[in-house]
């Protein structure tokens, strides 16, 4: 089934969603069908979000590709993911940071966290640590991080995530409720630089530093 990813990756490179060849290679290595519910496996290689339970989704392939590309992930980096979901995005990130890198991913739904961890372990992603908790607070014990990304849209950029980002690091997060924008934050010499990558559509980011009315 993973062969079905090739034409999608080729299209995403042609359309400019993927500029880094390593992102394309990572997408081709991760079996997306292993991360979706059994009854949706036939749709695993359609470039669209899919329901995974608890009102959450696995992001569309182009969005995972775009986020990985924007973050400029490199081997050996320590990355924090907020919103594990099914674990697919973490697996792609794990391919990019390599065995010497580390992906720390936080999921607020215990069942999703357990399911994702089981899948990631079965597929050999030993460089991923799954934490069940409030991702809007980051994960202080393993901070600081070279890269941080959030797979849900919040009302603002959570302050703990900025604090846990290394100087020279990058943070990518969707911000907004009805109209969301993908925002890249770079921390340089203690200063914050923002860049807007346009409108996106994500599930809401719920937590102490996120939305509280969902």
pLDDT in tens, 87-96: 999 999 999 9
Are the beta carbons of 54 and 85 closer than 8 angstroms?
no
Residue whose C-alpha is closest to residue 61's, from 96, 35, 100, 99: 35
- For residue 213, name the pLDDT band (cuts at 50, 70, 90): confident
Does residue 152 have a pLDDT over 90? yes
Nearest-angstrom CA–CA distance, 145 and 94: 14
Give 125-146 as a DSSP string.
-TTEEEEES-GGG--GGG--EE
Sheet of strand 78-82, all strands in order from the earlier edge strand to the far edge? 128-132, 102-107, 78-82, 145-150, 165-175, 180-188, 191-200
pLDDT in tens, 49-76: 999 999 999 999 999 999 999 999 999 9
The pLDDT value recorded for residue 2 is 72
Domains, the chain, ordered by start: 2-200 (3.40.50.150)
Residues annotated as catalytic are 59
């Amino acid at each position: 089934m993973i062969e079905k990813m090739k034409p999608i990756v080729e299209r995403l490179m042609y359309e400019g969603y993927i500029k880094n060849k390593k992102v394309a290679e990572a997408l081709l290595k991760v079996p997306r069908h292993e991360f979706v519910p059994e009854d949706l496996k036939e749709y695993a290689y359609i470039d669209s979000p899919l329901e995974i339970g608890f009102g959450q989704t696995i992001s569309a392939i182009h969005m995972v590709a775009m986020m990985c590309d924007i973050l400029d992930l490199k081997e050996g980096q320590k990355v924090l993911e907020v919103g594990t979901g099914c674990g697919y995005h973490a697996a792609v990130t794990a391919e990019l940071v390599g065995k010497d890198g580390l992906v720390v991913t936080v999921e607020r739904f215990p069942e999703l966290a357990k399911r994702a961890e089981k899948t990631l372990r079965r597929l050999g992603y030993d460089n991923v640590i799954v934490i069940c908790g409030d991702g809007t607070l980051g994960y202080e014990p393993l901070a600081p991080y070279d890269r941080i990304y959030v797979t849900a849209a919040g009302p603002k950029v959570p302050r703990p995530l900025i604090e846990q980002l290394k100087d020279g690091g990058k943070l990518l997060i969707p911000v907004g409720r009805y109209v969301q924008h993908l925002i890249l934050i770079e921390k340089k010499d203690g200063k914050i630089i923002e860049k807007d990558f346009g409108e996106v559509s994500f599930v809401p980011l719920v937590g102490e530093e996120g939305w509280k009315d969902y």
